[in-house]
Chains A and B, each alone.
Chain A
Amino acid sequence: MPSLAYPVPTDLSPATVKNTASLFRIVTLALISGAAIASRLFSIINFESVIHEFDPWFNYRATRVLASKGFYEFWNWFDPTAWYPLGRVVGGTVYPGLMATSGVIYYLLQALNLPVDIRNICVLLAPGFSAFTAWATYMFTKEMKDESAGLLAAAFIGIAPGYISRSVAGSYDNEAIAIFLLMFTFYLWIKALKLGSALYGTIAAVFYFYMVAAWGGYVFITNMIPVHALVLIFMGRFSHRLYVAYCSWYAIGTLSSMQVPFVGFQPVSTSEHMGALGVFGLLQLVAFANLVRSHVSSQNFQKLLRIAVVAIGALGASAFVFLTYTGKIAPWTGRFYSLWDTGYAKKYIPIIASVSEHQPTAWPSFFMDLQMLMFLFPAGVILCFRELRDEHLFVIIYAVLSSYFAGVMVRLMLTLTPVVCVSAAIALSSLLDVYLNPVEPDEEQDAVAQPAKSGPADAAPSTASSKSTSSTRGIFGIDTRLVVVFNTLWMLSFFVFHCTYVTSTAYSSPSVVLASQGQDGSQHIIDDFREAYYWLRQNTEEDAVVMSWWDYGYQIAGMADRPTLVDNNTWNNTHIATVGKAMSSSEENAYPILRKHDVEYVLVIFGGLIGYSGDDINKFLWMVRIAQGVWPDEIQESNYFTPRGEYRVDENASKTMKESLMYKMSYYRFADLFGGNQAVDRVRNQHAPKNIELGLPRRGVHVRKLDRPYLPSQERGHARAGSEERERL
């Protein structure tokens, strides 16, 4: 009978303990789901049930089409108002998973006679799926360690800001359901690998298909699973379980993923997917070699076989290279290539480089999003190395790859978060296992056994030895247990406070509606975006084309319901560059461009009065850069800087800058607001220019109509008389 540090009841039957633990697990998971959903509702409570940001507006609009006209209409939907005058084939250029999911929920609720508005389904889809994500993470971590680690991981991912940032209520984007699918596909893969089960492999393939239909980030799974399989092969851990799991996943997953129109034949024709195909081929070779080896005993033949396998492998690899070279296989697309060659995007695809979520990540963002998980994460990876079962390799590879990706791009923090939660949960749960175990080691007996070991630090390398002696190892005393457990509890509760704070302050702003704090702490809601779009909706003809920078395209289409030149689906660089050129040219040069595109309204966001730093003047250099990429002779970035290389908007601004349409529209009559005093741009902290002859300044947002008979020569006389002004202040 070992000595115990604290008394435990002994009169309970094992069945009672088991049932109680199971009940606790269910209740805990339910509570975690509740916490995950609740912490994502800050945005509704602080603002209202509204769709956030930019892309969600398109998804919402598409979902409305799906809900009102049915799936078939949605599939064939051609949208003539986007990318005017080109139009957009929406059904074939969209990942339909998200819209289909909310459409199914909508029809289901209708069938149950629950008339829920489609908007509320869209707004609440992400919080709902976060509960599923917590459950999927629980299942995944359970395969790595045990149920208690699973519960910790579920709690972590439920409230970690790194995941909340993309899944608050109203953030109706592909990521809302994609992280659940990612984790669940990984869980099924691990399960299939462990059991060698074709059934689990097939279910993994089905969820992989769902993931492909839902998010472009499915490529992460497409490469993650093959890398795992490849490492297993190289480590000599090839098994028939691996063969069955991989082949069933790959064959069914690839065939089904090709059913998504937007993906089409990419799985067999682009470099991103070639890794998976290559590993599939390699597995066949290795399996065949193993089969032959088990039947033939001759040493020489085995040598020959090995050479043959290597030769065929090399031949296959060179065939890939050849096909890529001749163009049969498309090379890595710029988006993925820029992950490896980090200077590539800025040089060749400024549209990708210009997006704020594609910027590299500084360390405060990591700490903000994951806090203490950040340093539990390496500890968990070490513990995975300690056991190093097949599934632990998956976590290790995932950890290393995704920490690199998250460092390169802020938005990929989202793929890092699950593995950090899993790994940190393994570390913390291992710690608690040791310190909550009531069994005390026997001091004398250990002292005798100890000399056999050279030292405690070297004991880690072999799991077998640590396991065989684990019964004699442990913690002495009760105070030591308490100090560690209380320290852990204290850290966990600090984590909860941190997550709540970050979620409520940083990640719950819809960015369509802004909030600012007054001097006395009172909150002001700045709703200028929606008012401007609403103004367009009310005061313009239905077919009036609105030109704006591409950021606002989806919102104009969603809220104002007007045709736009460019939007957030940045598929046509030339068209975007045309808008950039119009914005950065002088009025004389911009006007013909506007006329050619039937533009009647130009929308410019200006934040100089209230200090909203995400306005168009701050984005202006990207417009110039993108325009320069297409018209290097006409638009040149250096012309927009002062001779000393500064980006200024005051009287010292360069001539080209002062003449540009964007500049004029932004500062037109801005100085009037200050009633004779020196006008100050509060974003750039510079004096604003006076006497600008075009553009309508308002608090935050201006909408300006270009009158139809507007000609450059008439500019002075007609600029104000012929324009419709929107007065508000």
Chain B
Amino acid sequence: MKSLFYFLALCLGLAYAQKIGQKELIERAAAGNGVIALDAETFDALTSQKRTWSATIQFTALAANRGCMPCKQFDPAFNSVAKAWSTVSADKRELHFFATLDFDKAPTVFQKLGLASAPVVFAYPATEGPRKTGRTAPTKYDFQDGFDAAPLAQHLSKLTPIPIPYRDPIDWAKHIMTAGAIIGSGILLRAVAPILLTRWTWAFAGVILSLVMTSGYMFTRIRHSPYTGKDGSWIAGGFTNQYGQEVHVIAFVYGLLGLAFIMLTVVVPMQTSAAKQRMQIYLWTAVIMIIYSVLVSLFRVKNRAYPYRLFI
């Protein structure tokens, strides 16, 4: 009889402790604008083996002396998602928590989890109650889509009882800027209409566009290539790689060679003096030969197996 009493008391006690845990977490979350600021002790409470709630924890290092720039970039996004979650009705809200663990508050936790870098986001599923998934291990959020809030909210919505009602804040400054730019360009358009209506404006724009595109501009945009190499070199080794500066150089080389041909075809025949014309022809032919040789030698840098070379 006595033992049964103790057992009941134990059960009650456990249940009570659990209750307190969740209650306290709710209070702390409310106090922290939807985010619980964790330390080693509350971390254990939040991620206890028996939890009816799920949780998203941001492991970060915000202290200035740590110098973690990505942490500072990501922190506002995490907080705004957490804030969006705190607008959900209480019965759902209390089933999922957002929390932040700073390295300086609990380095032991970082060691325990084997974390060597920050920021990291772990999503802990519920292990008990109606929402349990059968898994206890947390899943890691990879920052594949960058440090923005919207993809984070989208990703976490799979875990929360209802989707996180996150919306990107309306960027008024951007909208006003766009409207201003449209009006401004409209006014400008009237002013420069005579220029726009000449074919050479279009020819210039079209040719520049083609030159830039065929010099690998889209490659540098899509692959986020740096403008120059780390060691200051401007030309990247390797056939399927290039730096931003190469776009300028190659577009210039192509443009110069194209110009030389235009000169020879269109402008030089207009020359009325035989001597001047001869000089121009030799000049532009020399330009073609030399610049073409430079182009081929640049190509040899990229493709080392290329067997041909010109004068250089």
Residues of A whose CB lies within 8 Å of any CB of B are: 342-343, 347, 359-368, 372, 374-379, 381-383, 385-386, 388, 396, 399-400, 403-404, 406-408, 416, 427-428, 430-431, 434-435, 441, 443, 446-447, 450, 456-457, 459-461, 473-477, 479-480, 483-484, 487, 491, 494, 497-498, 501, 505, 632-633, 636-639, 643-645
Q: Mark B283-303, 1 if CB is under 8 A from A, else 0.
A: 001001100100100010011
Q: How many residues of B contact A (CB 8 A)?
A: 74
Say whether B169 faces chain A, with CB atoms less than 8 Å apart: no
The minimal Cβ–Cβ distance linking A445 to chain B, given in whole angstroms, is 9
Residues in A with CB closer than 8 Å to B185 are: none
CA distance A644 to B116 in the complex (A): 8
Chain B, Cβ-Cβ closest to A446: B272
B288:A403 contact, CB within 8 angstroms? no
Contact B210 A381 (CB under 8 A): yes
Evaluate contact between B218 and A361: CB separation under 8 angstroms.
yes
Instruction: Give the residue of A366, A385, A483, A633 whose beta carbon is less than 8 angstroms from that of B216.
Output: A366
Are B267 and A382 neighbours in the complex by a CB distance under 8 Å?
A: no
8 A Cβ contacts from B138-158 to A? 139-140, 142, 144-145, 155, 158
In this complex, which of A361, A443, A459 has the most chain B Cβ atoms within 10 angstroms of its Cβ? A361
Of all chain A residues, the one with the shortest Cβ separation from B120 is A638
CB neighbours of A484 from chain B (8 A): 264, 281, 285
Q: Which of B66-74, B226-234, B251-259 contacts A (4 or more CB under 8 A)?
A: B251-259
**8 A-B pairs with C-beta separation under 8 A:** A363-B216, A364-B303, A367-B295, A375-B258, A456-B270, A459-B267, A494-B310, A636-B139
Say yes or no: B139 contacts A643, CB within 8 Å. no
Interface of B is mostly: helix
Given A632-B158, A636-B142, check contact A480 B277 (CB 8 Å): yes
Asked whether, in the complex, the Cβ of A361 is within 8 Å of the Cβ of B200, the reply is: no
Contacts of A399 in B (CB 8 A): 206, 210
A360 to B259, CA, bound (A): 27
Q: Which of A476, A636, A643 has the most CB of B within 10 A?
A: A476
Q: B217 to nearest A CB, angstroms?
A: 6
Flag B221-248 by CB within 8 Å of A: 1 or 0 each. Answer: 1110000000000000001111000110
- Top 3 closest pairs, chain A to chain B, by CB: A407-B218, A456-B270, A476-B274
Q: Are A633 and B213 in contact (CB under 8 A)?
A: no
In the complex, are the beta carbons of B308 and A347 less than 8 A apart?
no
Report B's interface with A, CB cutoff 8 A. 114, 116-117, 135, 139-140, 142, 144-145, 155, 158, 198-200, 202-203, 206-207, 209-211, 213-219, 221-223, 239-242, 246-247, 250, 253-255, 257-259, 261-262, 264-274, 277-278, 281-282, 285, 288-289, 292, 295, 299, 302-303, 305-308, 310
Residues of B within 8 A of A459 (CB): 267, 270
Question: Which among A342, A363, A408, A476 is the interface contact of B242 at CB below 8 angstroms?
Answer: A363
Q: State whether B278 touches A476 (Cβ < 8 A).
A: yes
Q: Are A364 and B139 in contact (CB under 8 A)?
A: no
Residues of B within 8 A of A643 (CB): 114, 116-117
Q: Measured between C-beta atoms, what is the minimum distance from B246 to chain A in Å?
A: 6
Query: Which residues of chain A are within 8 angstroms of B216 by Cβ–Cβ distance?
Result: 360-363, 366, 407
Which residues of chain A come closer than 8 Å to B295, judged between CB atoms?
Answer: 367, 375
Contact B213 A407 (CB under 8 A): yes
Contacts of A359 in B (CB 8 A): 240
Q: Cβ of B218 and Cβ of A376 under 8 Å apart?
A: no
B299 touches A479 (CB 8 A): no
- Report yes or no: A456 in contact with B223, Cβ–Cβ below 8 A: no
Q: How far is the CA of A359 from the CA of B218 in the complex (A)?
A: 10
The answer for the CA separation of A661 and B251 in the assembled complex, in Å, is 47
Q: Besides the contacts A360-B223, A381-B206, A637-B144, what 13 more A-B pairs have beta carbons closer than 8 Å?
A: A363-B214, A364-B302, A368-B239, A379-B258, A381-B203, A408-B218, A431-B264, A443-B273, A480-B282, A483-B285, A632-B158, A643-B114, A644-B117
Residues of chain B lying within 8 A (CB to CB) of residue A360: 216, 218-219, 221-223
Question: Residue on A with the closest CB to B274?
Answer: A476
* Chain A residues with CB under 8 A of B281: 475, 480, 483-484
Bound Cα distance A343, B144 (Å):
12
Cα–Cα distance between A406 and B114 once the two chains are bound (Å): 45
- Contact A400 B209, beta carbon cutoff 8 Å: yes
- The answer to whether A404 touches B207 (Cβ under 8 A) is no
Q: Is the beta-carbon distance between A375 and B257 smaller than 8 angstroms?
A: yes
The answer on a CB contact under 8 Å between A406 and B214 is yes
A382 adjacent to B218 (CB under 8 Å): no
With A363-B242, A364-B239, A365-B240: A382-B207 Cβ-Cβ less than 8 Å: yes
C-alpha gap A443/B135 in the complex (Å): 92
Chain B min CB distance to A495 (Å): 11
Min CB gap A439→B, angstroms: 11
Give A149 to B140 CA distance when docked, in angstroms: 61
Max chain A Cβ within 10 angstroms of own Cβ: one of B142, B241, B266, B285: B266
Q: How many Å from the CB of A502 to the closest CB on chain B?
A: 9
Structural contact, B239 and A362, CB atoms closer than 8 A: yes
Contacts of A367 in B (CB 8 A): 295, 299
Q: Give A476's nearest chain B residue, CB to CB.
A: B274
On chain A, the residues within 8 Å of B278 by CB distance are 476-477, 479-480
Known interface pairs A406-B213, A450-B272, A474-B269; A487-B206 also in contact (CB < 8 Å): no
A408 and chain B: residue at smallest CB distance = B218
